[in-house]
Structure 1
Amino acid sequence: MLGIESSLPSASRASKRRSSKSFRPSLKSASGLKISTMLMICMAFFLVLIVAVGGLAAYFLQQSGDALRTINRQDQRAMQILQLNNNMMEARVSLMSAARFYQEAGIDNDANMLQSADNLVIMANQKLDEVRKAFADIRANMPTEPELRRLAMGLVASYQAYLDDGIEPMVQALETRDYSTFYFVSEGFGVLRAATFQFRIEELSKFYNDQTDVLLEQTELQTRVANIVIAVALLLGLAIIVAMRLILGRAALKPLREAGMHFDYIANGDLTKKITYRSANEVGVLYDSMRRMQQSLQSIVLTVRQGVDEIASGSSQIFAGNTDLSSRTEQQAAALQETAASLEELASTVRQNADNAGQADQLAHNAAKVARQGGESVGAVVNTMNQISARSGQVADIVNVIDGIAFQTNILALNAAVEAARAGEQGKGFAVVAGEVRSLAQRSAQAAKEIKGLIEASQNEVQTGTQQVASAGDIIQEVVRAVNSVTTLMSEISSASQEQTAGIEQINTAVAQMDAVVQQNASLVEEAAAAAGSLQSQSETLAEAVSQFKVQEGDVIDMSERDYDRLR
């Protein structure tokens, strides 16, 4: 059985507010702080505010929970007290109903009614047992609070008096069927003690109800205080937000808008606007970076302008040089074409000379062969003259032979002269020799005739003729050697002519290749000239684009290294 305990919270606890003066830097001094520092301060304020509001909310929720639990316990105790009153009333009513049933059962001798009366008595005793157990628990757990203890003790005393003077005498009278005593006690002490018990019950119930009302009022007060605290916190948060808006508006938003304007100026090509913002926060770093960007752009624009001028001048020179080079290349190509034509004619002439040299070489070989034959004939003449000298008796025959040899020699000389004439300049020496041979042949013939007429008288002259024939043989040998030299020379001339023909053909091929390369160079020079013209046009376009930038050195911000290091 739940007992009555004193767990009521104290009366409303006044919430203590500590009024502390908050340090509010001026907007001018606050704008010098770093934005991250301002955000950290703002977050710290909001964190403290959230923790404070959360703590107060937790405290008020705890108090409200305690009050609700106390109200619940008070309601349970009030219900228990009312249940005790109901049990006592039911027990008394059951006893009175049982007395009436016993009386009627005795008159009518009705067993069912008698059984009903017994059941009512049993039920009354059960209710009384529950009441006795409840009051035993109340006695064992008597509250310590004076007022509640006084009321509880008064209830216990009225219960005991009601039980001793009313209920138990009624039960005893009913058991003995003493109906007069039963009704006397019921209508006398029973009514009086029941009224007193009822009064004590109502008094204690009223105490519990009053405490419940007090707790409800305290809960409502705490709720109102919590609402006020939350409203104050919201107002404080709103004030912080407004203050941060003003501070950030001065420290960040306005400078950022101005920075946007400067970026627009730079985007439009105006690099002459001054940047005069000085601060050690992140916006100051932004302005310092913007200043450096402006200076870098100025330097870049000036450098580009200078480079564009140099490119324009260089491209003009390149264009003029390429044009001149193109003209010279065309002239060189034309000269190479003429050279190729001349080399082709020279190659044709050299090939013809080579052919002529081959023919001359063949003629020289033939002349050498004829000369060798002439040498052999002269040898035969020498032998014949020796035989004439030895056999003077056969002079006539020998003269005939000499005459025939002279005739053949004359023919050979004529042939040699013809071949020498065909050999041209190279055969002049051979023609002289051939003329001499012809002259000798003629003289030999003349001598033979003279010998034929004077042979008998000119034996000594035969010996002289023999010597002359020997001398002619030596000359013929010299002619053979000269013809062999001419043959060798003509072979070398033919070989050299062939080599010259091959070399000229190679030179002709190289000149043709040079002509193709020169043609390609001419095409490349024309392309280079076109590229130089395009470069000149692009440099003019770039110069026009760069000319849109207004460059003028002005005052720009210059943060100190100490302020810049503070942001690192």
Structure 2
Amino acid sequence: MKNLPIRIGILLVLALMSLALWSAIGANWFNARSADQGFEDFYRISSERIQPAKDLQNAFTANRLWMAVAHRNFLQGDTASVVAALDRAAEALKVVSAVNEKNKDSAGNNAWPEVTRLAEQYGSLLSQYTELSTSAAAGLLRGDESIYLANIDRRGQLSTQADEVVVEFFRLMDQASLEVLAQAQDRLQLAGTITVALLVLSLLVIPVCWLYLSRHVMRPLRDAGQAVARIASGDLTQRIEVDSRNEIGQLLAALRQMQDSLGRVVSQVLHGVDEINTGAAEIAQGNHDLSRRTEEQAASLEETAASMEELASTVRQNADNARQADQLASTSMDVASRGGNVVSEVVTTMDDISESSNRIAEIVSVIDGIAFQTNILALNAAVEAARAGEQGKGFAVVAGEVRSLAQRSAQAAKEIKSLIEESASRVQVGSSQVQRAGQTMRDIVDAVKRVTDIMAEIAAASQEQSTGIEQVNHAITQMDAVTQQNAALVEESAAAASSLEEQARQLRQAVSVFKVSDAAPVVQAPSLRHDAVLLPA
């Protein structure tokens, strides 16, 4: 028993307890299952029969009511109301038929033959009831009240028989519930007897299990606890004795191995702490130098960032000036365009004036021709008057006046024509000059447009330069922030090195509480010293 594995002993105890427990559970489960099966059968039959019976009663009541309403309407001669009432009665019969079919489908699943017999009998009565109700309704529809009354009387007899079947069914349900309850009580009593027997058996097994666990588990565990307490207090000098090969013996052997390993680790820690102190001091010095150079680099970056900010401000100002110049050039182009349009209108007006002058010149030429012809006619009239002698003397005077007027008209027409030709010549010269002015304005507009395009390109280039400088400035700002962060990290690293040195001191102080035997081997700890690598400033 001393070397019996603890797991086997515990398994035996658990097996006995489990056997008793499962026996009780099995007995109770069997009894509960049997009782549950009885209640389930009772509930299933009740749910399959009682609720349909209630539905049938409601459907019967509705059918009888609507048939009575139809008969009353028939007696009153209201044919439409008769048809409506018979439709409602037919709907109630559909419910009766549906429940009857459902009862037929589930009749073979009943555990009680008597219930099946009653269900079949009740279904036969329902079928006859449905046929009689249908025949009575058909009699009313045909107007034959005698058929209706005969079928209603027979249907009343069937209703009485159906009620008797329902009463018998509920009596069987009451009897079945009493039987199920009695069976459940018997099974409950059997389960209680089995449980008491298993409880008595457990009371006999428990002392035996307690004796075994006390000698072979609890006492060795107490010895192991004392050994662990000595190790926790720092005493690594007392050797742990192992006198069994079970799990407790393996635990004590592992504790002894742990004690030996812990002694070696403590020795290594004591030697390694000195190396950590030296390495931490070197790291702290290197971090100090790196921090100083990082701060110098951060200062240079700040100066560069300030210069880039000034340059960015200048470029932004140039970009603003270029945009303003672009706007002014656009305004000048608009003004020049309007001037070109005005000159074009003047050219059009001068062309119209020139055309009008030409038409006036043509009219004056016509007047000159008329005056010339009038002069010839007056000359002919004077010749004829001279031939007439004294009789044509007055006519000669008139012809002379007409000739004088014709000559003056011709002279005036010549002067007007001369003036118009001179004006037309001047208008043509002015039109030519206006056309040259219009071409000049178009050239000015084209030049201003080219200037506007160039200014727009200059503004866009200035904007791109401003954006690029802002990006460079942002990058330098980020570099400055990163440098500041690096400086902070270096300071944190220096603080961590100092903390590491302090922790090494505290670790040495903490390990010094262990008492190590002289036989414990000492292993040289690996050196933590490394050459410090400093970043260039």
Bucket of the pairwise TM-score, normalised by the shorter protein: 0.3 to 0.5
TM-score, normalization by structure 1:
0.34
* Structure label with greater radius of gyration: 1
TM-score, normalization by structure 2:
0.35
